[in-house]
Chains A and B, each alone.
Chain A
Amino acid sequence: MPKKREIKDYSTDPAAQQMLIRAEELGIGTAFTRADAMVPCNIGGAGMCCKQCGMGPCRLTKSGDTGVCGATIDTVQARNLTRAIAAGSAAHSDHGRDMAFLLKATAEGKAEGYMIRDVAKLRMVAGYYSIKVDGRKPEEVANDLADLYISQFGQQRGEIVPAIRAPKKRQQIWREQNVWPRGVDREVVEALHRTHIGDDQDPAHILNHAIRTALADGWGGSMIATDISDILFGTPAPILGQANLGVIKEDMVNIVVHGHEPSMSEMLVAASQDPEIIAYAKAAGANGIQLSGICCTANEILMRQGIPAAGNFLHQELAIMTGAVEAMVVDVQCIMQALVGLAQNFHTKIITTSPKVKIKGATHIEFDEHHAMTIAKSILKVAIDNFKNRENSKTRIPQIKEDLIPGFSHEYINYMLGGSYRASFRPLNDAIMTGRIRGVAAIVGCNNPRSSQDYLHNVVVKELLKQDVLVVQTGCGAISSAKLGLMLGEAGLSEVGNGLREICETVGIPPVLHMGSCVDNTRILTVLTQMVEDGGLGDDIDQIPAVGLAPEWMSEKALAIAAYCVASGAYVIFGGASPVSGMERVDDSDEVLKYISEGWEKLYGGKLEFVPSPEEMIKLTLEHIDKKRAALGLPEYDPNKFGKSGDTKMNALEAMPLAQRREAIYGGVG
């Protein structure tokens, strides 16, 4: 009998808890309760179910079991994992493809409402590929770049180009292992082919292709998506934002955007500031329009315009439950089908916009970049028209929200460490080398209702900060820290170890840097590359004292990210359950698990492990960081060595009465 958890065990977020209480009052089910009701399939969860052909599905549950075709457990697991990675890569990369087409349309002047906002980034990116920039108009450069990027998806032979931005040594490894992707689509197609019945049946060989498919995501589709988003909508820089359900406003028309691609959400942001639309909202009796985001769409507009985030993945249902959302506008990825049924309890309209995504029962207003502004306005009008249907009696908005400073793009981090003239990663590398910063943890990924929402993220983040580990985040993990106030400069003074505090205070940064949406994990890749290039931390990514974690992962995209991070040299720790966990009682059902750890580490210096306990995640993270520090010959981490600099003393002196203060600061008169 499935066990029902208490509300406090569903989420550590008090805003979420309030909404879950409300859900109980209304007798509405959510992902949390459905997770209780739905026991995961233990055979599928172990990766030991093969449903690749009509001879099965085959459940391999005993030592020595094979499928009807004779496929062994490790082959089945490798195939399942590879298919998941291929799906994740496909999702990210298809997002990248759409962005490339959008860039092309913008360059041709055929994309209504879009423009090239960041010419500097365009020129820089074009420069990587020797596209001529001098003396050319941005549109001409963008046109060439769009053509090059579009070609990466359908390219059949050779090497995808963005990967040349990796450290030289890493590139050599990819060539030696023959995993440099030839073309994004080709690798995904080949992954599906190889895992079809009767094809590739050597697990290590299958998994090597999983690496190649994932690299086509991280150093291909995703990187393309990030580049183009920055070019069209501006490279993020720090800005004040807010997070959590409290950003939904009672007196406003609330529109929540949810999904992943910025092309539509950015246009909604622009349209929501149009005086005509604001007037239209006021005419409808509202004080204006409040746009907010869920999931990675939230991150895209939060990073660039400071548009508040209503929450992360598991907040999508809860936002509707406030009863104050006129429309939830969704595009692609991580959108629960449950939204439509849930929304029927309220006045909320679920509006699907992507030609790729329709949900039965939802309103579909198809988005087309050629008429983006017009469509954006019409979507807003649908929401505004719905304002009158809001039932105040059903409105419950948790008054909980927290400020944050997002916007840490690679470019800004470079700037913030030295200004316009001396931009570099030297101060960061120095901080790691001296031991002020023990190491870096990239804590990314989803929410998963099978664990308490945000709990694993928060436990791990908070402890690592105390251990002087600088944390960078993307995706839903980032929003979990934002909700706790960890993305504020103040947290850099109070929530961290002494050494990290000095760095936060020197630069003025929060101890947890919000680097964007989940496709923006590529920012972490290029940041790590520059850390290598700026010197002192070895000559490849695998030597940096850094770890990647996804404590609450759930999507196939997360697995793709994990695989490309491993291939880039990172130690990746996933929380929750492994999709290839095997079964303790079945011999050899841990072969794949071992291979993606030890086997991949031999080839790439990175490895993927699944660790359910947060304490264990922290322990492994610190051990790995310390191991890498030792290998680089860096001084052993010492929590008590640093912390002398900063404002504390000065602020205390400044608070003294004038005469006393003078004496204390400037000394006696000689």
Chain B
Amino acid sequence: MSKYIATRAIRGANALVTEADVMLNKALAEKGADAPVSFPNTAYYLPTILGMTGKSIEKIGDLKSVMDYTRGLLHPVPAGKHWTPYLGETLDSGMATLLAAETIEAIRFVYGLQPEPMSEDFILSGGTSYGGANGHGHLNGPIDDIQLRSWGIQLVDGRMPGFAAIVGCAKNNATAVKIVRELQRRNILTFLSGNVNGRSIIHQLQEEGVELGYNTFTVPFGTDTISAIYALGFATRSALTFGGMKPGMSREILLYNKERVFAFVLALGEVDDLKYAAAAGAINFGFPVIADTVIPEILPTGVTTYEHVVSMPFDAIDGKDDLEKAERLVQKCIEIRGVKVKVSNVDVPVPYGSAFEGEVVRKADLRVEFGGKHARCYEYLQMAKLDEVTDGKIEVIGPDFSQVPPQGYMDMGIVIKVAGRQMQQDFEPVLERQVHYFVNGASGIQHVGQRDIAWIRISNMAADKGFSLESFGKILHARFHEDFGAIVDKVQVTVITDPALHAEWLEKARAAYDFRNKRLADLTDNKVEEFYSCTLCQSFAPNHVCVVSPERLGLCGAYNWLDCKASFSINPTGPNQPIKLGKLLDDRKGYWSGTNEYAAMGSHGVVNEVSMYSIMENPMTACGCFECIVMLIPEANGVMVLSREDTCMTPAGMTFSTLAGIAGGGLQTPGVMGVGKFYLISPKFISSDGGFKRIVWMSSVLKTSMADELKAVCLREGDPDFMDKIADGNSATTVDELLAWLEAHNHPAMTMEPMF
């Protein structure tokens, strides 16, 4: 701290705690102590309070003890002269500010004041679900558990290097947009809150038509400083979800954030007492504070990894205009937090970064689309000999889209030839699948699907800025080199719109898809000599280890056996290491001497044995970013499969959020397992416990989104109508309902041998 900051932060803390006190007393009087209080779709109650104090707040009355505790953290402001030390006292007051802020937001929810209302034309591009007119006319409020988990893998594998909590209002709208774009370009999650004299960066971005929401990595919390608490609630939950921390382990949670969550606070415009107080709270998490105005700097390190507080008066930043200054400001923030950012320098006329991956190109903004209902678009990656590929050669064969009318369509094929000494044919699909992410990274471009069902849209904005067919080639060339440089030496891209050539290559591509399908079908656990470890998540869940086999992909859904194999080729000392299977110990349950040894070593002795095919005996552990939870329903003699998108109640009496707490954290819990959704269709899916037919309940989201794949499994299992026998959230949310359903539909699990 500095005495100036300490004085203002402690003053702000005292004021906010008083405000929270007043609000709580009012709510107690008006709503009663028993009125429920909660944040939407989270198993972590009021997460900061839960993490820091261990208290599960469910009713307004529960908040009384929180406020008593909070007041105990306050201190008087430092004396004018002959002061006593103030750093620890300020940090404590900062924590009091956070607890008070969360209390206030919780009470606001009770009064219907959260999420914060906005004008009707404000639309979130993906956000927390509130039911009703969702995403229209209100800000996001807190991030829900679903989104936290789905961002999980990106946070852990570094694709999303951290988050920026922006508080206040930028110097002008153009600066606001530039700052956010710079953060997006680096895939840094951006949380928005606060205002200066009533004007918030959220207003600025809204006026400039910047799409805000989960899909664009920019989450507008609220237009006051208090709503910045949602950023810290998110941080707290990261530690609880991925780090295996327990509620009340405040020090561990804070240190987890300091060491692993690369976040910072960017204060735009005047910093008032409350902002100083909230910043003091954030520093407890190891998050530094950068201001674009003059404030006292705190450059010594310790509570944060690098500087604690840095002032970069906007006007004093070296740069030819506001935009360049904004760019430098963001660079400085990243430096101070030590965020590890990989910026793709892709030579296209639109901003580029994975924050743009979620962008949607709506019909109204559409310039041209390839694929979809009216056209055919495919992408095909092929390995070739080194002398058959000219690196950097990008060819467009056929007409461009200048003659296509607005909102029109055309056929396109993207053929990529790669060559490299380390390249293997098995890596073709691994690399080809990346086209989706690479193309989507361009702002104003939307990519859906893969292979010959790809569907690409170019927006008017992108087309106006000069995005062309050639741009696809540039993106792919740059990104393949950047991400797969270890196995790919040369990349050549041909974009085909010429009808004859399009048809010719489509045929070749389909032959290749077919070949790959067969190869994949042949690739079974008993045909390989090694599995792969995946310790990508260990940066977040230190004792968790995934063992990835051909028939069991990683629980995040992002890494299958081939991916791991390719990843090992790219980085031989990286998170994916081959596990020599060694001696087969149990064919049915899936034990090998090699996998067991690896589990013990990789989990640092926490887990000693891991069964590849059983949920009941030594099941594989999970970090927090699993796509589904499989859980035993003892009464039904089967399992339910719950998707993380599913918020409904389950026969287990818990929602996904609550269950996830049991499944995650790197601990073995027989009967509960986090898995990738494609594991469901593997023949090895809990095969030692009875396999696919054990599924008695499944989230309807999965039933719909994987209908074709699941149908094929039913055929494989010899029960074509089996899907109809599985209950879902519409048919059963209690065990009794489930049992009645199973009885009525003659589900096989009822007559299978007992699971345990």
Interface residues of A (CB under 8 A from B): 238-240, 403, 405, 407, 415-424, 426-431, 434, 436, 488-490, 502-503, 505-509, 642, 644-647, 649-651, 653, 664-670
Measured CA separation A229–B219 after assembly (Å): 53
B357 within 8 A of partner (CB) = no
Measured CA separation A203–B89 after assembly (Å): 52
Give 18 new A-B contacts, CB below 8 A, not counting A419-B87, A490-B81: A405-B82, A416-B87, A416-B88, A417-B88, A417-B303, A418-B88, A418-B91, A421-B52, A421-B95, A424-B302, A430-B301, A490-B82, A503-B300, A645-B297, A645-B307, A645-B309, A664-B294, A665-B295
**A427-B302, A645-B296, A664-B294 given as contacts; is B91 within 8 A of A508 (CB)?**
no
Which of B1, B73, B294 lies in contact with A420, CB distance below 8 A?
Answer: B73
- Among B2-10, B111-119, B150-158, B416-424, which stretch is in contact with chain A? B2-10
B172 within 8 A of partner (CB) = yes
Measured CA separation A550–B94 after assembly (Å): 40
- 14 residue pairs A–B, Cβ–Cβ below 8 Å: A417-B88, A417-B302, A422-B251, A427-B300, A436-B300, A490-B81, A507-B86, A508-B3, A508-B84, A647-B2, A647-B3, A649-B294, A666-B294, A667-B293
Measured CA separation A531–B536 after assembly (Å): 32
B308 within 8 A of partner (CB) = yes
Q: Nearest chain B CB to A663's CB is how many angstroms away?
A: 9
A residues within 8 A CB of B95?
Answer: 419-421
* A421 x B92 contact (CB < 8 A): yes
* B284 x A421 contact (CB < 8 A): yes
Which of B2, B94, B250, B284 lies in contact with A505, CB distance below 8 A?
Answer: B2
Measured CA separation A649–B175 after assembly (Å): 26
Measured CA separation A488–B91 after assembly (Å): 21
**In the complex, what residue of chain A is closest to B78 when comparing beta carbons?**
A508
**In the complex, what residue of chain A is closest to B255 when comparing beta carbons?**
A422
Most chain B CB neighbours (cut-off 10 Å) among A240, A417, A647, A653 = A647
B35 within 8 A of partner (CB) = no
* A508 x B85 contact (CB < 8 A): yes
B residues within 8 A CB of A670?
Answer: 171-172, 175, 322
Most chain B CB neighbours (cut-off 10 Å) among A403, A407, A646, A664 = A646
B residues within 8 A CB of A423?
Answer: 88
**In the complex, what residue of chain B is closest to A434 when comparing beta carbons?**
B301
**In the complex, what residue of chain B is closest to A425 when comparing beta carbons?**
B302
* A502 x B299 contact (CB < 8 A): yes
User: Closest 8 interchain pairs by CB?
Assistant: A427-B302, A419-B91, A670-B171, A670-B172, A508-B86, A508-B85, A645-B297, A238-B84
A residues within 8 A CB of B302?
Answer: 417-418, 424, 426-431
B residues within 8 A CB of A508?
Answer: 1, 3, 6, 78, 83-87
Interface 0/1 of B269-304, CB less than 8 Å to A: 110000000000000100000001111111111110
B residues within 8 A CB of A503?
Answer: 300
Measured CA separation A490–B78 after assembly (Å): 13
**A418-B303, A421-B254 given as contacts; is B270 within 8 A of A666 (CB)?**
yes
B residues within 8 A CB of A424?
Answer: 302
Which of B4, B73, B171, B270 lies in contact with A651, CB distance below 8 A?
Answer: B4
Q: Nearest chain B CB to A264's CB is how many angstroms away?
A: 28
B719 within 8 A of partner (CB) = no
Interface residues of B (CB under 8 A from A): 1-4, 6, 52, 73, 78, 81-92, 94-95, 171-172, 175, 250-251, 254-255, 269-270, 284, 292-303, 307-309, 313-315, 322
* A419 x B251 contact (CB < 8 A): no
A residues within 8 A CB of B251?
Answer: 421-422
* A427 x B301 contact (CB < 8 A): yes
Q: Nearest chain A CB to B153's CB is how many angstroms away?
A: 29
Q: Nearest chain A CB to B654's CB is how many angstroms away?
A: 30
Q: Nearest chain B CB to A313's CB is how many angstroms away?
A: 26
Which of B82, B293, B298, B322 lies in contact with A645, CB distance below 8 A?
Answer: B298
* A488 x B82 contact (CB < 8 A): yes
**A238-B85, A419-B87, A421-B52 given as contacts; is B300 within 8 A of A666 (CB)?**
no
**In the complex, what residue of chain B is closest to A238 when comparing beta carbons?**
B84
A residues within 8 A CB of B90?
Answer: 419
B residues within 8 A CB of A417?
Answer: 87-88, 302-303
Q: Nearest chain A CB to B201's CB is how many angstroms away?
A: 13
* B89 x A419 contact (CB < 8 A): yes
* A506 x B52 contact (CB < 8 A): no
* A665 x B293 contact (CB < 8 A): yes
Which of B84, B293, B298 lies in contact with A506, CB distance below 8 A?
Answer: B298
* B84 x A644 contact (CB < 8 A): no
* A489 x B88 contact (CB < 8 A): no
A residues within 8 A CB of B171?
Answer: 667, 669-670
A residues within 8 A CB of B298?
Answer: 506, 645
Measured CA separation A653–B313 after assembly (Å): 13
* B313 x A667 contact (CB < 8 A): yes
* B297 x A644 contact (CB < 8 A): yes
Q: Nearest chain B CB to A271's CB is how many angstroms away?
A: 27
**In the complex, what residue of chain A is closest to B309 when comparing beta carbons?**
A645
Measured CA separation A88–B666 after assembly (Å): 55
**A419-B88, A419-B91, A509-B85 given as contacts; is B293 within 8 A of A666 (CB)?**
yes
Q: Nearest chain A CB to B574's CB is how many angstroms away?
A: 27
**In the complex, what residue of chain B is closest to A237 when comparing beta carbons?**
B84
A residues within 8 A CB of B91?
Answer: 418-422
Measured CA separation A651–B269 after assembly (Å): 19
**In the complex, what residue of chain A is closest to B93 when comparing beta carbons?**
A419
Measured CA separation A427–B90 after assembly (Å): 15
* A422 x B284 contact (CB < 8 A): yes
**In the complex, what residue of chain A is closest to B172 when comparing beta carbons?**
A670
B residues within 8 A CB of A427?
Answer: 87, 300-303
* B4 x A506 contact (CB < 8 A): no
* B87 x A507 contact (CB < 8 A): yes
Measured CA separation A428–B85 after assembly (Å): 14
Q: Nearest chain A CB to B78's CB is how many angstroms away?
A: 6
Measured CA separation A651–B296 after assembly (Å): 9
Q: Nearest chain A CB to B196's CB is how many angstroms away?
A: 9
Q: Nearest chain A CB to B694's CB is how many angstroms away?
A: 44
Q: Nearest chain A CB to B2's CB is how many angstroms away?
A: 5
* A405 x B313 contact (CB < 8 A): no
A residues within 8 A CB of B73?
Answer: 420
* B308 x A506 contact (CB < 8 A): yes
Q: Nearest chain B CB to A100's CB is how many angstroms away?
A: 31
B residues within 8 A CB of A507?
Answer: 1, 85-87
Q: Nearest chain A CB to B104's CB is how many angstroms away?
A: 21
B residues within 8 A CB of A240?
Answer: 82, 84
Q: Nearest chain B CB to A117's CB is how many angstroms away?
A: 18
Most chain B CB neighbours (cut-off 10 Å) among A239, A416, A424, A642 = A416
Measured CA separation A653–B82 after assembly (Å): 23
Which of B83, B295, B301 lies in contact with A489, CB distance below 8 A?
Answer: B83
**A506-B87, A507-B1 given as contacts; is B299 within 8 A of A403 (CB)?**
no
* B300 x A645 contact (CB < 8 A): yes
B residues within 8 A CB of A422?
Answer: 91, 251, 254-255, 284, 303
**In the complex, what residue of chain A is closest to B86 when comparing beta carbons?**
A508
* A426 x B82 contact (CB < 8 A): no
**In the complex, what residue of chain B is closest to A651 when comparing beta carbons?**
B4
A residues within 8 A CB of B88?
Answer: 415-420, 423
Measured CA separation A488–B88 after assembly (Å): 18
A residues within 8 A CB of B2?
Answer: 505-506, 645-647, 650
B residues within 8 A CB of A416?
Answer: 85, 87-88
* A647 x B254 contact (CB < 8 A): no
Which of A434, A436, A505 lies in contact with B3, CB distance below 8 A?
Answer: A505
Q: Nearest chain A CB to B254's CB is how many angstroms away?
A: 6
**In the complex, what residue of chain B is closest to A240 when comparing beta carbons?**
B82
* B296 x A646 contact (CB < 8 A): yes
* A665 x B294 contact (CB < 8 A): yes
Measured CA separation A421–B93 after assembly (Å): 11
A residues within 8 A CB of B293?
Answer: 665-667
Measured CA separation A436–B299 after assembly (Å): 10
Measured CA separation A653–B1 after assembly (Å): 18
Q: Nearest chain B CB to A501's CB is how many angstroms away?
A: 10
